[in-house]
């Protein structure tokens, strides 16, 4: 197992040389494993450049990965890549904020490092932690070795001086447990870093992020500053706006607001995500959802709900939106009993309206 | 020079944004510049999308940004058909460089293409020197129309609206358009901008062309004349915008400043919207100030379990101590508002204020009364703030004020919910129509709650005169305040947040 991983790493490493920016074929190539894997890894660097070359190519790239995006979103990713700036994504829940980061990672074939925020999240869970267990174990094991080290030392002062010569071995990278943020910085080929629901984290945590967001580095008191590898991560932060994000953080980010999509885009999304929906039903259900969004509801149905609903309807072999069918499946799109009750009485008029 | 023009346009735009209350920092300005460098000015929508990612940082600011951008970069196409025109001018460009390689005109044209907006002055002087020579080349030139010679003429024929806008704002900058203060100056500034953009040269060229023998040249003269008139209109619009962006705002500031201090009962109906905006703004300020959940550390009391747990990794050696800390709850506020005629307006703004603070004060319960008291919390949860307030005032403002009855009702309704973390705010003038005051009820509330704050919209001098029961009620309040303007309101709520946090 271990050996295999090592071999794999070596292979990837060499291939990066083989498929450098010039992409000349190396005669060494036949010696290395499966051609399919080589392609996937060897092409990735050049791929990112071509995909992120313009807004249009990015948009196509996203569409290839079944993520239909507006020009705003594509522009945001374009600027994020070109200017090396993090993107703060806001918008109502379920419009595909997290999905955007995931798709971007997939599209660029970069690893996705995800940090889910919650109340009480701190640096030991987000950036790094010392491997206390390992430190403890090593101190126990090395107790015997201590005599050798201290051999010949007379008195307390001399012993301490001798010990000092060995430096802070217990606070070196060996004993460092990297958490998502540090992991993201250490990715050689760059990665997509997703800091999800930043608004759930404490106010103090935002300040912790500032260094990594503006300079792509973290400072660890015992070791020093760790900078990002050659290729800094592409950072996405998402927020549901349950509280105001601090100005300092916002200042360092591009700000992308994803609203609910218009009918056209949403139809495209449904087409991409649930291809089995009959076109007539697709039109009707998207229009129905848009009608719902005009009502005063506690929680408006988002894209994720539209997709779920489309899947449900396909499962039920529906051909068009019948009032009874809608009433039976309302609980897929509305998540509050109060909302369901309110809409229930209006289903007939709504379906009549969109049937035209 | 081109970079400078860009810089200035962007920084002017940012100035306008700041005027419109979008906060833009210097770092963001730099970001905007590098983004624009990447994106360019060619595609207006693209530029808008880009800047809207970099500059505004909330959904509200984006709306403001959109309006600002449209106003600032609004520029009609010279002929109303941008794409075609661009293609054509590209063709013309190609032709020009093909057949006029040795002439100054071709060189100047190439110059224009390579560095849009730049070298205006230089090429102008060139034109003057070589006017005659170029005329000759022009006559020989193929195509329906000859190429314009003056810098402004070229600009007009180039049909790039953004380019024209950039030039115009550069000219505006040169004549200090931002200094414009009163509307009578508009004509003056429009004239100055036209002059700055090279109107004199253009007029000269038009006059020359109209006398030219060749048809294409005369046709160009006509075109240029039409476009000059169009440009004049554009400049007038531009000055108008600048006037709105720069002059009007200071007026608005002044008005806001006044409205903060004016007595709320005197606010005219037409200013309600503005007041609402101010209330939201003030509430926003307070919530950002207090949105940090503060922890009060009780140093001296060891949190033993936490200390042990956290020091397990050090082999049980306790060197990382943890102290007991108290997380302070958000204030629990009960607002009781007199909504009878005399106080209704104050109640309106106080409720608006309290509910705008829901981010830092999620637990507001509100009650309205004139003779009988009822809870209106649900109304506020379900409706928009303005609607809820309107409904409250409509439903409860009839009847003569009876504070005694209202207090009794309140006691019956929710005495049990009042604990030592509750703050009760009562807004009213304490004019009880000589009815029973029931101050003992207030005493009971006073004893149970954390704080009772009585806000009286009347001036202190008028308290305790006539049927005012302020003395009785004041005895059982922790704090009695005169509160009749937004400034007072802000101070009271600010204190409330500070003390409970």
Q: How far apart are the C-alpha atoms of B198 and B152, rounded to whole Å?
A: 6
Contacts with A265 (C-beta within 8 Å, 6 or more apart), sequence order: A68, A70
B180 is written with which tokens?
A: 């414009």
- Give rounded-to-5 percent helix, strand, coil for chain B: 65, 10, 25
pLDDT band at B88 (very low <50, low <70, confident <90, very high): very low
Instruction: Report which of B438, B320, B443, B340 is spatially closest to residue B392, judged by C-alpha positions.
Output: B340
DSSP classification of residue A26: P
A-contacting residues of B 1-60, CB under 8 Å? 23, 25, 27-28, 31, 34-35, 38, 45-46, 49-50, 52-54, 56-59
Torsions phi, psi of B16, nearest 5? -65, -40
Q: How far apart are the C-alpha atoms of B484 and B486, rounded to whole Å?
A: 7
Spans of all domains in chain A: 1-18+33-51, 129-174, 263-355
List the beta bridge partners of residue A130: A176
Query: What's the mean pLDDT in A17-26?
Result: 38
Contact list in A for residue B58 (CB cut-off 8 A) is 90, 244, 255
**Residue A206 C-alpha, separation from nearest chain B C-alpha, in angstroms:** 12
A-contacting residues of B 449-478, CB under 8 Å? none
Q: What is the pLDDT of residue B153?
A: 79
Contact list in B for residue A81 (CB cut-off 8 A) is none
Q: What percent of chain B has pLDDT over 90?
A: 1
Contact list in A for residue B31 (CB cut-off 8 A) is 83, 85, 254
Q: Residue A163 to residues A152, B1, B109: CA-CA distances in angstroms? A: 12, 64, 77
Residue A235 has pLDDT above 90, yes or no: yes
A-contacting residues of B 213-272, CB under 8 Å? none
Helix pair B104-114, B151-158: axis angle to 10 deg: 60
Spans of all domains in chain B: 2-72, 82-255, 295-327, 332-500
Residue B454 has pLDDT above 60, yes or no: yes
User: How high is the ipTM of this complex?
Assistant: 0.75
B175 is written with which tokens?
A: 């004549």
Contacts with B381 (C-beta within 8 Å, 6 or more apart), sequence order: none
Q: What is the pLDDT of residue B191?
A: 87
Q: What percent of chain A has pLDDT over 70?
A: 87
Q: What is the pLDDT of residue A78?
A: 92
User: Which pLDDT tens digit goes with each residue over B168-217?
Assistant: 878 888 888 777 766 677 788 888 888 888 888 888 888 888 787 777 78
- Whose tokens are 């009608």? That residue is A291
Q: How far apart are the C-alpha atoms of B8 and A280, rounded to whole Å?
A: 52
Asked if A203 lies within 8 A of B291 by C-beta distance, the reply is yes
Asked if A71 lies within 8 A of B28 by C-beta distance, the reply is no
User: Which pLDDT tens digit goes with each residue over B371-401?
Assistant: 788 888 888 888 777 788 888 888 887 777 8
- Name the least confident of A101-110, B129-138, B317-326: B129-138
Nearest to A83 among B34, B45, B59 (CB): B34
Alpha carbon A5 to chain centroid, angstroms: 25
Q: How far apart are the C-alpha atoms of A339 and A335, rounded to whole Å?
A: 7
Please tell me the class of the B332-500 domain: alpha beta
**Residue B98 C-alpha, separation from nearest chain A C-alpha, in angstroms:** 31
Contacts with B63 (C-beta within 8 Å, 6 or more apart), sequence order: none
Residue A240 has pLDDT above 50, yes or no: yes
For residue A170, the SS3 value is helix
Residue B104 has pLDDT above 60, yes or no: no
B453 is written with which tokens?
A: 């704050």
Instruction: Report which of A196, A203, A190 is spatially closest to residue A234, judged by C-alpha positions.
Output: A190
> Chain B residue closest to A253 (CA)?
B54
- Whose tokens are 């009993």? That residue is A337
Contacts with B399 (C-beta within 8 Å, 6 or more apart), sequence order: B340, B370, B371, B372
Question: What kind and span of H or E run contains B466?
Answer: none
Torsions phi, psi of B296, nearest 5? -100, 120
User: Which pLDDT tens digit goes with each residue over B313-329?
Assistant: 777 777 788 877 666 55
Strands B323-327 and A112-116 turn out to be unpaired
Residue B10 CB coordination number (10 Å): 17
């Amino acid at each position: 197992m271990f050996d295999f991983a090592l071999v794999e790493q070596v292979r990837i490493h060499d291939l990066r040389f083989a498929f450098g920016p010039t992409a000349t074929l190396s005669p060494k190539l036949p010696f290395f494993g499966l051609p399919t894997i080589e392609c996937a890894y060897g092409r990735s660097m050049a791929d990112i450049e071509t995909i992120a070359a313009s807004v249009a190519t990015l948009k196509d790239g996203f569409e290839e990965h079944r993520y239909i995006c507006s020009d705003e979103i594509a522009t945001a990713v374009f600027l994020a890549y070109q200017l090396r700036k993090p993107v703060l994504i806001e918008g109502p829940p379920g419009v595909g904020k997290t999905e955007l980061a995931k798709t971007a990672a997939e599209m660029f074939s970069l690893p996705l490092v995800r940090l889910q925020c919650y109340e009480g999240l701190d640096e030991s869970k987000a950036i790094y932690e010392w491997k206390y267990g390992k430190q403890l174990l090593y101190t126990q094991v090395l107790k015997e070795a201590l005599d050798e080290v201290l051999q010949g030392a007379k008195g307390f002062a001399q012993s301490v001086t001798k010990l000092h010569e060995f430096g802070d071995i217990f606070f070196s990278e060996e004993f460092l447990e990297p958490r998502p943020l540090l992991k993201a910085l250490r990715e050689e080929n760059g990665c997509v870093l997703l800091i999800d629901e930043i608004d759930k984290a404490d106010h103090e945590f935002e300040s912790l992020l500032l260094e990594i967001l503006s300079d792509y580095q973290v400072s660890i008191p015992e070791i020093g500053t760790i900078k990002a590898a050659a290729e800094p991560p592409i950072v996405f932060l998402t927020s549901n706006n349950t509280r105001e994000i601090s100005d300092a953080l916002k200042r360092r980010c591009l700000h992308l607001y994803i609203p609910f999509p218009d009918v056209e885009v949403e139809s495209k999304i449904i087409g991409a995500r649930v291809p089995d929906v009959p076109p007539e039903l697709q039109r009707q259900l998207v229009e129905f959802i848009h009608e719902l969004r005009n009502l005063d509801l506690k929680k408006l149905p988002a894209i994720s709900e539209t997709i779920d609903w489309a899947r449900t309807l396909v499962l039920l072999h529906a051909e068009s939106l019948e009032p009874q069918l809608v009433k039976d499946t309302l609980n897929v799109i509305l998540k509050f009993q109060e909302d369901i009750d309110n809409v229930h009485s209006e289903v007939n008029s709504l379906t009549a309206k969109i049937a035209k | 020079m081109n970079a400078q023009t860009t810089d200035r346009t962007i920084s002017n735009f940012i100035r306008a944004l700041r005027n419109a209350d979008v906060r833009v920092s210097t770092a963001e300005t730099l970001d905007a510049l590098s983004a624009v460098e990447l994106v360019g000015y060619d595609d207006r929508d693209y530029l808008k999308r880009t800047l809207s990612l970099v500059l505004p940082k909330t959904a509200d600011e984006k709306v403001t940004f959109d309006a600002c951008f449209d106003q600032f970069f609004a520029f009609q196409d010279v002929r109303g058909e941008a794409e075609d025109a661009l293609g054509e001018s590209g063709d013309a460009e190609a032709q020009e460089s093909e057949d006029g390689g040795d002439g100054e005109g071709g060189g100047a044209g190439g110059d224009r293409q390579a560095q849009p907006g730049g070298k205006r002055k230089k090429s102008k002087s060139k034109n003057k020197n070589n006017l005659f020579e170029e005329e000759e080349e022009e006559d020989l030139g193929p195509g329906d129309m000859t190429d314009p010679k003056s810098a402004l003429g070229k600009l007009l024929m180039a049909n790039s609206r953004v380019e024209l806008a950039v030039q115009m704002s550069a000219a505006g900058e040169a004549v200090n358009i931002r200094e414009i203060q009163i509307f009578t100056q508009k004509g003056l500034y429009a004239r100055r901008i036209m002059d700055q953009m090279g109107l004199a040269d253009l007029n000269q060229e038009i006059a020359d062309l109209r006398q030219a023998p060749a048809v294409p040249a005369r046709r160009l003269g006509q075109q240029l004349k039409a476009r000059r008139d169009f440009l004049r209109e554009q400049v007038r619009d531009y000055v108008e915008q600048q006037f709105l962006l720069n002059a009007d705002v200071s007026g608005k500031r002044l008005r806001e400043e006044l409205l903060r201090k004016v007595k709320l009962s005197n606010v005219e109906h037409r200013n309600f919207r503005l007041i609402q905006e101010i209330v939201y703004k003030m509430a926003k300020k307070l919530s950002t100030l207090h949105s940090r959940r503060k922890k009060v550390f009780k140093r001296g009391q060891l949190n033993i379990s936490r200390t042990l747990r956290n020091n397990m990794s050090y082999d049980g050696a306790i060197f990382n101590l943890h102290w007991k800390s108290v997380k302070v709850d958000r204030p629990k506020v009960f607002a009781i508002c007199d909504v009878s005629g005399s106080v209704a307006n104050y109640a309106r703004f106080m409720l608006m204020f309290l509910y705008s603070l829901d981010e830092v004060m999620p637990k507001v319960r509100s009650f309205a009364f004139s003779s009988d008291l009822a809870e209106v919390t649900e109304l506020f949860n379900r409706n928009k703030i303005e609607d809820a307030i309107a409904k409250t005032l409509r439903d409860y403002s009839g009847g003569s004020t009876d504070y005694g009855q209202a207090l009794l009702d309140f006691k019956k309704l929710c005495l049990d919910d009042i604990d030592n973390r509750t703050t009760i705010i009562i807004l009213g003038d304490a004019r009880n129509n000589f009815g029973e005051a029931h101050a003992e009820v207030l005493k009971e509330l006073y004893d149970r709650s954390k704080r009772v704050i009585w806000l009286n919209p009347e001036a202190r001098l008028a308290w305790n005169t006539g049927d005012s029961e302020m003395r009785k009620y004041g005895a059982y309040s922790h704090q009695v305040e005169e509160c009749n303007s937004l400034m007072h309101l802000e101070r009271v709520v600010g204190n409330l947040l500070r003390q409970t946090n």
